[in-house]
A and B are shown apart, each in its own frame.
Chain A
């Protein structure tokens, strides 16, 4: 454990690069002779290409090639390129269908690439792409989950099938019961940066890739498999990524195709997809329907919960997520059953989106908790406290740390929970009904394996190296704080090099796990340097000979004896005296077996105040307080930003975000940022963030747990609960748009 962690709120280390336009994202790299490509998408969702006319496109100015299933260059490792997820490029579960980009005339989803047009400029590629004409043989299209819920299959793997603790039907016998159905629509990550890739074969079997990926090592591995290359010959660079939110957790088929075509045309090739293609080519949060059955006694003790979720996936790949998991361990309930099913539709495959399935599940569970509290005439916080658990009821083991009671209390104070009336619809200000709502969020706290290299120079400067990509949370800033805390090097003397496969291997940025994983590696490598410095100082003839190692402190480049500060030596002098210009340590770090004795989760509580206009159905979030119980906060400033970002995402999830499919055609009708409404400035109020900031004694030396997911998980439920408190009406289908509110109020 890091005993002397100090965490002043330092500015983001890459701030200057970001405010001056100096930060280079993949599409900003300028390689001589770069060609541009544009993807032509299918206009049907199911069937096959009957004819494809590329002649006009080939004749258009500047066109270097038009690639279709008829002339796509071979990709030798086609059976492997779907890999690249956070936990490694494992083969996907087999379904009846397979999808290999531009490999056959078969169409499995709307927008599926049918041609990639390559030209010497972006404008020319775009124009030529408009000249590609296809005709199709259509087949009946299945895209509406509601119509096909009964086709659900239990997926393979940890998230598939059923879970049971106690009796599955115990809720039915409870004095107070609840049954409710909840719907989450398709939501789309829509990071501001468009997806794409810049691929350059620098030699016959040597590849340079500028990618939009959350993990350069994962992209390297996926391309190595696809092209049967030694990973050492593939260099992937993603120092800056313009947001991911999960869409960069895998290597997408079009990335592999661009790499193959770049090899064929023997030029660097850049793909930047259109915003509408962001809806079909890089995943989405799956449409999910859920049913919660809940039973409680009249004292507010839960007797049973049954949680069933059915989510869409593609016909060609099973995508699973942990939608029902929170229900298994969140409350002290003796009887819990969960059921998770997938329905394979004619849609492109989903991918984890911030908070992923846990956010979907938390909306249902925490809405149901609010509904039950109302039935019991209990304050929703009091109801949760009556079912609070200090140990994990799913695994019968302690939590590594849990300070959720304190989080409830501090959040309630900050939002002014005492102003909330338990009787819904009872507070009005002018034209507006006022309501308060809250919800809990939780997500696994992981300790993945990672490595990092630390270079401490005799001039007092320090460099941190790790392949990890910073997609926005402030990874580099957090790593700087950790190195600063261990070695006492001032933060302005610390440089972080990251986002490149030439650096020590790190996991994909996802799962709120990076500070824990890479931070631990930085901690371990810094500690090794500290130990070496102490050894040099303490050895016979050394400047601090005769002292004890555990009495030494290291701050501002000076090693001293804690209780006798006059006994000291400057690190630079110590290194020079030993003819050292640099101390260089690389450490692999992973948790020990003791981690398995605990359940490790981060927790959050979200509080909101909403105004609902009963004349228009408009809902406005007017106050938001988010409390994080995520262990020790390593970098307070960037951590607070993550939390406010979760609120903005949560407001979108709760009130506006919905990708709407016209099921006659299996196609989105609002696949752009004018019609798919993410939260904008006007939707987001001032936000208060509260950090419990108590170290987790188990998970890693910093005591830090993750917070990227918990910032969002539960927020939509808090809004739905506040809308109920304001109006007495319960909206169970997200987003809570004015039409739904008006329908309820009518």
Chain B
């Protein structure tokens, strides 16, 4: 397993509020600033900028088989972490509000909306994205669900597709793919504006009936 380390600011204790933290002289010593200077800076609104340097939190998470040791702002969503920091852009942003399913990934095997998941909550977890679904990587063998989406043309523009596929795999694993109607119900959190629904249902039922391990 690979180890990736991303450098960021030093981590601060989680219970330090921004301003009270800043005004502690012991912490400020690290910035080579005298307390009066820091107080003046705070008055000018510069405390926000200084505080930013301390607002990183450590995170250890396994993504697609790679263990990451990261330092991130606690407000970063799993979606933005994947896309903007880990450059795993297969997971898409469609609404950022958990309403469309384009960002669906697996966290410890369960499908979640990455946009509604603060990255910090995945501490110690295993995250699988569309890039990590197939064992063979980007040029190797496809996962049966990926192959079925191609066979049944379960997409058009392709933007919702990673989320549909991650959701579809989970749908079968959960035991919610016993009929087309059940699939429609349990896939309704994944919107496809191109309207490939009928083909997506066919693809999922094909994989389910084929009995391949998903």
Q: Mark B185-214, 1 if CB is under 8 A from A, else 0.
A: 101111111111111110000000000000
Contact indicator B89/A641 (Cβ below 8 Å):
no
Within 8 Å of chain B (Cβ to Cβ): is A158?
no
Q: Is there an interface contact between A23 and B158, defined as CB atoms closer than 8 Å?
A: yes
Cα separation A14 to B94 with both chains bound (whole Å): 21
Establish whether residues A687 and B198, one from each chain, have CB atoms under 8 Å apart when the complex forms: yes
Q: Check A192/B160 contact, CB under 8 A, given A15-B150, A275-B94, A674-B97.
A: yes
Q: Which residues of chain A have a CB within 8 Å of any CB of chain B? A: 11-12, 14-25, 27-28, 30, 55-56, 59-62, 121-124, 127, 189-194, 240-245, 272, 274-275, 471-474, 637-638, 640-642, 644-649, 672-674, 678-682, 684-687
Contact residues, B169-199 vs A (CB, 8 A): 180, 183-185, 187-199
A672 with B95: in contact, given A123-B73, A472-B194 (CB under 8 Å)?
yes
**3 tightest CB-CB pairs across the interface, nearest first?**
A21-B90, A648-B195, A242-B159
Q: Give the nearest-CB partner of A29 in chain B.
A: B89
Known: A20-B142, A473-B156, A682-B188; 7 extra A-B contacts, CB below 8 A, are A19-B142, A20-B134, A59-B48, A192-B191, A193-B94, A638-B156, A679-B197
Q: Which of B52, B92, B188 contacts A193, CB < 8 Å?
A: B92
* A-contact 0/1 string along B2-44, CB 8 Å cutoff: 0000000000000000000000000000000000000000001
How far apart sit A619 and B122, CA to CA, in the bound complex (Å)? 42
Residues of A within 8 A of B88 (CB): 21
Bound CA span A18–B200, Å: 14
- Asked if B71 is an interface residue, CB under 8 A from chain A, the answer is no
C-alpha gap A18/B130 in the complex (Å): 10
In the complex, the answer to whether A21 meets B142 with C-beta atoms within 8 Å is no
| B66 on the A face (CB < 8 A) | no
Name the one of B51, B89, B97, B195 contacting A61, with C-beta atoms under 8 angstroms: B51
Q: Which A residues touch B180, using CB under 8 A?
A: 686
Contact check, A56 vs B45: say whether CB atoms are below 8 A apart: yes
Rounded to whole angstroms, the CA-CA distance of A686 and B131 in the bound complex is 30
Smallest Cβ distance from A672 to chain B, in angstroms? 6
In the assembled complex, B93 has its CB within 8 A of some CB on chain A: yes
What residue of chain A has the Cβ atom nearest to residue B185's Cβ? Answer: A682
Which residue of A is nearest B160, CB measured?
Answer: A192
Chain B nearest CB, measured from A4 CB (Å): 25
| A673 and B95 contact, CB distance less than 8 A | yes
Contact assessment for B146 and A681 in the assembled complex, using a CB-CB cutoff below 8 Å? no
Q: Are B201 and A681 in contact (CB under 8 A)?
A: yes
Q: Which residues of B contact A193 (CB under 8 A)?
A: 92, 94, 157, 159
- Using known A-B contacts A23-B158, A471-B157, determine if residue A243 contacts B193 with beta carbons closer than 8 Å: yes
Give the A-B pair count, Cβ closer than 8 A: 208
B157 adjacent to A240 (CB under 8 Å): yes
A and B contact pairs by CB, cutoff 8 A, 14 listed: A17-B158, A18-B155, A60-B48, A62-B52, A122-B80, A242-B160, A473-B156, A641-B194, A644-B199, A648-B197, A681-B183, A681-B185, A682-B184, A687-B198
In the complex the two chains form, what is the Cα distance from A319 to B190 in whole Å?
33
A686 touching B198, Cβ below 8 Å = yes
A272: B residues at CB distance < 8 A:
93
Residues of A within 8 A of B51 (CB): 61
Report B-chain residues with C-beta under 8 Å of the C-beta of A648: 192, 194-198
Q: Which residues of A contact B94 (CB under 8 A)?
A: 192-194, 275, 673
Which of A24, A56, A673 has the most CB atoms of chain B within a 10 A radius of its CB?
A: A673
A residues less than 8 Å from B149 (CB atoms): 15, 18-19
Contact A19 B195 (CB under 8 A): no
Residues of B within 8 Å of A687, CB to CB, are 198
Q: Give CA–CA (A192, B190) in the complex, Å.
A: 10
Report the separation of the CA atoms of residues A56 and B44 in the bound assembly, to the nearest whole angstrom.
10
Chain A residues with Cβ below 8 Å from B91 are 21
Q: Contact at A192–B156, with CB atoms within 8 Å? A: no
| CB pair A245 B193 closer than 8 Å | yes
Is B161 at the interface (CB under 8 A from chain A)? yes
Give B177 Cβ to nearest chain A Cβ, in Å: 12
Q: In the bound complex, what is the Cα–Cα distance between A243 and B159 (angstroms)? A: 8
> What is the CB-to-nearest-CB distance from B86 to chain A, in angstroms, rounded to a whole number?
11
Instruction: Give the complex CA separation of A642 and B153 in angstroms.
Output: 11
- The interface residues of chain A, by DSSP majority, are classed as loop
Footprint of A on B, CB under 8 Å? 44-46, 48-49, 51-52, 55, 73, 75-76, 80, 83-84, 87-97, 99-100, 102, 129-131, 134, 138, 142, 146-147, 149-151, 153, 155-162, 165, 180, 183-185, 187-201
Question: In the complex, what distance in Å separates the CA atom of A680 from the CA atom of B91?
Answer: 20
Give the CA-CA distance A678 to B134 in the complex, in Å. Answer: 31
Docked complex Cα distance between A473 and B153 (Å): 11
Of the candidates B99, B162, B188, which one forms a contact with A681 in the assembled complex, judged by CB atoms under 8 Å apart? B188
Contacts of B159 in A (CB 8 A): 25, 191-193, 240, 242-243
In angstroms, Cα B192 to Cα A243, docked, is: 10
In the complex, which residues of chain A have a beta carbon less than 8 angstroms from the beta carbon of B93? 27, 194, 272
Please report the C-alpha to C-alpha distance between residue A306 and residue B75 in the assembled complex, in whole angstroms: 58
Residues of A within 8 A of B44 (CB): 59
- Cα of A646 to Cα of B191 in the assembled complex, Å: 15
Q: Which single residue of chain A is at the shortest CB-CB distance from B87?
A: A30
A21 touches B129 (CB 8 A): yes
Q: Which residue of A lies closest to B159 (CB)?
A: A242
A649 to B185, CA, bound (A): 18
Separation of A534 and B183 alpha carbons in the complex (Å): 54
Contact partners of A127 in chain B: CB under 8 A: 75
Residue of A nearest to B140 (CB): A20
Q: Are B194 and A243 in contact (CB under 8 A)?
A: yes
Contacts of B84 in A (CB 8 A): 121-122
State whether B191 touches A59 (Cβ < 8 A). no
What's the minimum C-beta distance from A554 to chain B, rounded to whole angstroms? Answer: 29
Contacts of A637 in B (CB 8 A): 153
Contact of A192 among B100, B147, B189, B198 (CB under 8 A): B100
In the complex the two chains form, what is the Cα distance from A640 to B153 in whole Å? 9
A729 to B92, CA, bound (A): 43
Chain B positions within 8 Å of A14 at CB level: 158
When the two chains form their complex, are residues A241 and B157 in contact, meaning their CB atoms are under 8 A apart? yes
Inside 8 A of B197's CB, which chain A residues have their CB?
A: 644, 648, 679-681, 684
Contact B194 A645 (CB under 8 A): yes
Q: Are A674 and B99 in contact (CB under 8 A)?
A: yes
Which residues from chain B contact A678 at a C-beta distance below 8 Å? 191, 193
Chain A residues whose CB sits within 8 angstroms of the CB of B157 once the complex forms: 191-193, 240-244, 471-472
Residues of the B chain whose Cβ atoms lie less than 8 Å from the Cβ of A12: 150, 153, 155
Chain B min CB distance to A125 (Å): 11
Question: Is the beta-carbon distance between A641 and B130 smaller than 8 angstroms?
Answer: no
Per the bound structure, the CA–CA distance linking A331 and B191 in Å amounts to 37
Contact residue among A55, A242, A679, A681 (Cβ-Cβ distance under 8 Å from B187): A681
Residues of B within 8 A of A28 (CB): 83, 89
Q: A123-B73, A648-B192 are in contact. Are A192 and B102 (CB under 8 A)?
A: yes
CA distance A521 to B44 in the complex (A): 63
- Residue pair A21, B131 in contact (C-beta under 8 Å): yes
Knowing A18-B161, A678-B191, say if A192 contacts B153 (CB, 8 Å).
Answer: no
